[in-house]
Amino acid sequence: MTKNAILLVDYAKVLQRRDGMPRRQAVIEAGRTRLRPIAMTTLAMIFGMLPLFFALGSGARGVLPWLAPSSAGC
């Protein structure tokens, strides 16, 4: 989530500098423009990790130590 927030703030600053938008309008426009890519990236990561959460086989024990930190974004 942190990277997405940085991209959102950076795009708002670009809109302020390039188009001379007021801060509030630039933040709203950046949110409208960047919401879909941010949501798609987040959902892809969540759905990609779902099989790891439900791993039940004999090799599942090796996945558990790194699953919690990687899913929490650490």
* pLDDT (0 to 100) of residue 63: 64
- Residue 67 domain flag: no
d(CA 24, CA 12): 9
Q: How many domains, the chain?
A: 1
Give the residue numbers spanning the domain of 28: 1-49
Give CA–CA dist 16/24, Å, rounded: 10
What six digits make up the tokens of 2? 């942190």
Query: Is residue 59 assigned to a domain?
Result: no
Kindly state whether residue 60 falls inside one of the protein's structural domains. Answer: no
Look at residue 56 and tell me if it is in a domain.
Answer: no
Does 1 map to a domain?
yes
Give domain status of residue 66, yes or no: no
pLDDT digits (tens, 9 = 90+) for 22-74: 999 999 999 999 888 888 988 998 888 777 777 666 666 666 666 666 666 54
Residue 27, domain member (yes or no) = yes
